[in-house]
């Protein structure tokens, strides 16, 4: 029979070995207890996280842009907003027309965020919906019209969502003006996500004469070129963020290239609620 010290040594060696095993192998064993722990924490952590997020969340970019007390500016902004929404409706109509059949194959599962990683270098959220609610790995997660991320791990009642702000995220976005005044300014730019200050910022390079301006909106690209990047078609068209900064590319070709920074409209790690695009049961591949 082993002594207590020997038991401890066995445990230590076992842990050392397990910690170096391939991820899929370890995850297949640890996933179940991890989700059990999440389920135990969820009811209270969800409430606490929501309260904490309300206190510390930065204002949404759209709110930040709202004018103050000046009525004329308010009116102008309201008109601008109406035009923007009209344009957005047209955009969505187009998306719906294009992908309508696919969208009808989905249900929308509303979920509350129960915790987040707290690590800007590895941002993820956990939500209180899982396999029982139809959520599956790879499902697209949004918050209203903002793209949030994708489901990367699913338990019976919880799921982990990797945010688009993750350093490994690669998004293809289309940048266009926020208003309908300049419909001609459409540009396709490739975005590489880089985590900055706890939220998503994207640095891209565009031709110096490309008329991208501060305040332009970036959408997940809807176009003919849909190859790669791993996003399903029904995710295309959701907002990625707004152009908040444009600067010359000092490192390489400052005269020929610019770098733009795209920031999500919302403080993604501090969201309280999200929506998951869940494929309807009859559309799912046979998994019984």
Partner 1 sequence: MNWLTFAIATYLLLLLQVGLRGLFDFNVTAIEGAEPNLLLILMVFIAMVAPLHTSLWAALILGLLADLEQRQALVVAGDEPMHAVLVGPWALAFIAAAYVVLQMRGVVYRNSPLAFALTVFIAGMGLYLVHTAILSIRGLPFLPGEAVAGWSATQELIGAFLNLVYSALIALLLHLPLRSSERLWRFRIPTGPARRAV
Contact set for partner 1, span 70-109 (CB under 8 A): none
Judged by CB under 8 A, the residue of 84, 129, 133, 162 near partner 1 is 162
Q: Interacting stretch for partner 1, rule CB under 8 A, among 11-19, 63-71, 90-98, 232-240?
A: 11-19
| Exposed/middle/buried for residue 70 (C-beta within 10 Å: 0-12, 13-18, 19+) | exposed
Q: How far is the CB of 267 from partner 1 (least distance, A)?
A: 9
If you count them, how many residues does the chain have? 288
Taking residues 129 to 158 in sequence order and writing x for each that binds partner 1 by CB under 8 A, - otherwise, the string is -----------------------xx-----
Cα distance between residue 287 and residue 131, in whole Å:
12
Q: How far is the CB of 43 from partner 1 (least distance, A)?
A: 10
Contact set for partner 1, span 242-261 (CB under 8 A): none
Q: Is there a contact between 138 and 150 (Cβ–Cβ < 8 Å)? A: yes
Judged by CB under 8 A, the residue of 59, 167, 215, 254 near partner 1 is 167
Q: What are the angstrom distances between the C-alpha of 270 and each of 48, 113, 198, 210?
A: 12, 9, 10, 34
59 binds partner 1 (CB under 8 A): no
Cα distance between residue 58 and residue 62, in whole Å:
12
Residue 15 or 82: the one with the smaller Cβ distance to partner 1 is 15
Residue 57 or 83: the one with the smaller Cβ distance to partner 1 is 57
Query: How crowded is residue 249: how many other Cβ atoms within 10 Å of its Cβ?
Result: 17
203 binds partner 1 (CB under 8 A): no
Residue 4 or 97: the one with the smaller Cβ distance to partner 1 is 4
Q: How far is the CB of 35 from partner 1 (least distance, A)?
A: 9
The C-alpha angle with vertex 122 and arms to 113 and 112, in degrees rounded to 5, equals 5
Contact set for partner 1, span 19-58 (CB under 8 A): 19-24, 26-27, 29-31, 33-34, 37, 40-41, 44-49, 52-53, 55-58
Judged by CB under 8 A, the residue of 16, 71, 72, 227 near partner 1 is 16
Residue 52 or 211: the one with the smaller Cβ distance to partner 1 is 52
Question: Which residues bind to partner 1, rule: CB under 8 A?
Answer: 4, 8, 11-12, 15-16, 18-24, 26-27, 29-31, 33-34, 37, 40-41, 44-49, 52-53, 55-58, 115-122, 124, 152-153, 160, 162, 166-168, 170, 197-198, 228-230, 270
């Amino acid at each position: 029979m082993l002594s207590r010290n020997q038991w401890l040594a066995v445990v230590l060696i076992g842990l050392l070995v397990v910690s170096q095993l391939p991820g899929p192998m370890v995850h297949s064993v640890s996933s179940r207890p991890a989700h059990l722990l999440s389920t135990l924490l969820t009811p209270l952590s969800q409430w606490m996280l929501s309260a904490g997020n309300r206190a510390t969340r930065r204002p949404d970019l759209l709110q930040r842009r709202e004018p103050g007390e000046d009525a004329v500016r308010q009116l102008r902004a309201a008109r601008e907003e109406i035009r923007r929404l009209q344009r957005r409706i047209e955009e969505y109509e187009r998306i719906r027309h294009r992908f309508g059949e696919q969208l009808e194959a989905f249900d929308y599962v509303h979920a509350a965020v129960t915790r987040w990683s707290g690590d800007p270098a590895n941002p993820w959220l956990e939500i209180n919906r899982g396999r029982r609610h139809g959520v599956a790995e790879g499902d697209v997660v949004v918050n209203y019209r903002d793209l949030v991320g994708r489901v990367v791990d699913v338990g019976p009642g919880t799921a982990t969502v990797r945010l688009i702000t993750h350093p490994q995220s690669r998004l293809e976005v289309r940048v266009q003006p926020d208003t309908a005044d300049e419909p001609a300014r459409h540009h396709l730019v490739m975005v590489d996500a880089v985590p900055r200050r706890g939220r998503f910022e994207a640095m891209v390079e565009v031709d110096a004469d490309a008329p991208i301006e501060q305040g332009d909106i970036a959408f997940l690209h809807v176009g003919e070129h849909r190859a790669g990047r791993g996003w399903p078609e029904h995710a295309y068209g959701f907002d990625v963020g707004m152009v908040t900064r444009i600067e010359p590319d000092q490192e390489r070709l400052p005269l020929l290239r610019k770098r733009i920074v795209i920031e999500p409209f919302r403080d993604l790690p501090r969201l309280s609620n999200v929506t998951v695009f869940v494929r309807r049961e009859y559309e799912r591949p046979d998994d019984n």
